[in-house]
Structure 1
Amino acid sequence: MTPAAGGKVLVVGDVMTDIIVKPEGPLNRGSDRRAAIRSRPGGSGANQAVWLGAMGADVRFLARVGAADVASLRTYFEGFGIEPLLVGDPALPSGVLVTIVDPDGERSFLTDRGANLELAVDDLPETLLDGVGIVVVSGYSFFAPGPRAAVQSLFAMARSRGIPVAVDPASVGFLQEVGVGNFLDWTEGASLLFANDAEALALSGYNECAAQMAMLGQRYERVVIKRGALGAATGNRAGIALSLPAPQVEVLDSTGAGDAFAAGFIATRLRGGDERACLEAGILAGSEAVKAIGGQPAAKPRGD
């Protein structure tokens, strides 16, 4: 089932503070290295919600954050026209991610998920689905037992109401930690899978895009593989249905590029765009995202 035109997007996923570190050269173990260090709002779920909001989609975003941050984060998300449903955790702080950016734009992560780890079934009542046209869940929600039970319950409710579900695997490291087979079983039947090259390789066991598509298409209705500088492809168990190139751009920071891609694809689909229009929009959004530091666009001006 592909996303229908119209309706809200319900995004469920992490909220993080991204500490982005761009060293001038290789790290000097036991000594100093000059670096540009910036703090930015992040988290895969939050990134997707903000990109969708910036693109004019009608977005409802649910996440668990440190109780002290609820008010400020609510204001932040509302600035993008998002309906934020933030659950304040009384014990754990909001998550923090340290991103180390290589000179070629590739990233390595150190992750403290904080309050995100306490997302619970009670945080996701069925009323969240009222008026929703598609549910988007970050793979990070599957990497710990509590959040996994919560989003699996939400999946079941969405399917019973005929609402499409999209999943982004999010992290090869965590996929390998929980087991690729487990992740495939937990998410099987999702309407859309957004995977990058590395995630598609890990999930399918195949190096070639066509083989990845055919294998993953046995688990998911529609598969979208984000191929970085090579563009992106979409298809199903029959293989690649459409593959498009990406424009050549200077990569400053690839953080959030995949989230921007997914947002562009979904926002276009909800406006009634066909497969080519959706893929073109995703590629354009991802290409724009790598030109700036951080995983989210600049805040929308008040009144937009």
Structure 2
Amino acid sequence: MDPAAARIKHIEERDSHYRRSEASPPSRFDPSTMSASASRTELPPPRVLVIGDVMTDVIVQPEGPIVPGSDRRARIGLYPGGSACNQAAWLAHLGIPVALAGKVGRRDAEEQARALAEAGVTPRLGIDETRGTGMLIALISEGGQRSFLTDRGANDTLSNDDLPVSLLSGLELVHVSGYALFTPGPRAAVMSLMAVARARGITVTVDPASVGFLDEVGRDNFLGWTRDASILFPNEDEAAFLAGSDDPAAQIRFLTNRYGLVAVKRGAAGAEVATAQIRLKAQPPTVAAVDTTGAGDAFLAGFLAARLAGAGLEQCLAEGVRNGAEATTVIGGRPPARAG
């Protein structure tokens, strides 16, 4: 039996065991248990499943350069975050029924689920009884550029038990945040579900997420782990690392030999999308940027929402850059709350 078939057989047998067993599978958050104040109208069955990180973001905006060993006034805020959650929230903002699979700590499980539900995302959260929800500190420079400090927390304990095959029911697309692939336990679980999804004809897409973590795990490893993906969404640094070249044309040639479709996010220069036969570029609209956190996530959501609506590549790219630009006009990585 080949490795992919073995992974599929294992995960399906595991889920069948839980259905037969009187014992419950490991702890997961049930949205139906949310308090009345946390609930909202029932969300539609998801067309998309996003798998990845759930974080609390601490956004720090210093009034000027940080003074080593001394003080600097700053605006500091707490926001629900995580690249995968941001991507799911933007998809929901654009009208795509979507669920988020990830893992959180017990203490704020309901709070995290509430934030997702209020953004229009169906929460499918495993619960870690000992580790807290992941946390990220984002330092925002005067021009809106950000630097991160990350504590992965419960994200690093995501397991097969948190990703049952039943999550794939009715889906058209599974999107994986690369952060879920950088730790062995979560990686094995995510790759198993990716293999099942691909075998069932469900489109699989991946965002590499972090050039720093890509460097830690190695280019060839990441390319192998994402072999079940048909679309890759790197930023320009990730594309350069994976292709081993700073030349955009060389990056496109390398990546389109491995993925059917590649959409490269190039920051203020916009983005480009390519197959082995086509290469398209788009510039973003001019906006008053205040925070670039989540711009790439919003681009991805805009692109995928248009693709799910049947748009061509040029329109998908245009919607991606428009949505990414919109994201830079608000603080935090998620779309602005709707009125009412």
- Contact 1:253–1:290 under 8 Å retained in 2: yes
- Deviation for aligned residue 1:76: 2.0
- Written as runs of structure 1 = structure 2, the 5 A alignment for 1:246-257 is 246-257=284-295
The AA in structure 2 aligned to 1:82 is V
Q: 2:250 aligns with which of 197, 200, 211?
A: 211
Using the alignment, how far apart are the partners of 1:46 and 1:230 within structure 2?
25
Secondary structure of 2:60 counterpart:
strand
Task: Give the whole-Å Cα distance in 2 for the aligned partners of 1:189 and 1:123.
Answer: 20
- Residue identity over aligned pairs, in percent, reads 51
Once residues 199 and 134 of structure 2 are traced to their aligned partners in structure 1, the CA distance between those partners, rounded to angstroms, is: 32
1:251 Cα deviation from its structure 2 partner: 2.2
d(CA) in 2 for partners of 1:75 and 1:99?
A: 23
Residue 204 (structure 1) shift: 0.8
Structure (1 or 2) with the greater strand fraction: 1
One-letter code of the match for 2:70?
A: S
Q: Which has the higher Rg, Structure 1 or Structure 2?
A: 2
Cα deviations by residue, 1:234-282 (Å, 9 ceiling, x for unpaired): 11234x5211111222321110000000011111111111111111111
Q: SS at the partner of 1:297?
A: coil
Is the CA contact 2:58–2:76 (under 8 Å) kept in the aligned structure 1?
yes
Name 2:156's counterpart in structure 1: 117
Instruction: Give SS of 2:120's match.
Output: coil
Pairwise mapping of residues 53-64 of structure 1 onto structure 2 (< 5 A)?
A: 53-64=92-103
* TM-score, normalization by structure 1: 0.94
- What is the CA distance between 1:211 and its match in structure 2? 1.3
1:243 corresponds, among 281, 292, 301, to 281
Which has the higher mean CA deviation after the structures are superposed, 184-193 or 111-120? 184-193
Tell me the distance in 1 between the aligned counterparts of 2:331 and 2:205: 26
Is residue 268 of structure 1 aligned with residue 320 of structure 2? no
Structure 1 residues 13-162: aligned runs within 5 Å: 13-162=52-201
Query: Quick one: distance in 2 between partners of 1:255 and 1:172?
Result: 16
Query: What SS does the aligned partner of 1:85 have?
Result: strand
- Please say which of residues 50-59 and 66-75 is displaced more in the overlay: 66-75
1:269-302 Cα distance to aligned partner (Å, 9 max, x none): 1111111111111101100001111101123356
Q: CA RMSD in A?
A: 1.5
Shift of 1:189: 4.0
Q: Deviations over 1:122-175 (max 9, x none)?
A: 211111111000001100001101110011001110111011111001111111
Structure 1 residue runs of 5 or longer lacking an equivalent are 1-5
- Find the aligned partners of 1:215 and 1:19 in 2 and give their Cα distance: 37
Number of aligned positions between the proteins: 296
Measure the CA separation in 2 of the matches of 1:283 and 1:48: 14
Q: Structure 1 segments of 4 or more deviating over 4 A?
A: none
One-letter amino acid of the structure 2 residue matched with residue 20 of structure 1? I
Q: Tell me, yes or no, if the aligned pair for 2:198 and 2:228 is still in contact at 8 Å.
A: no
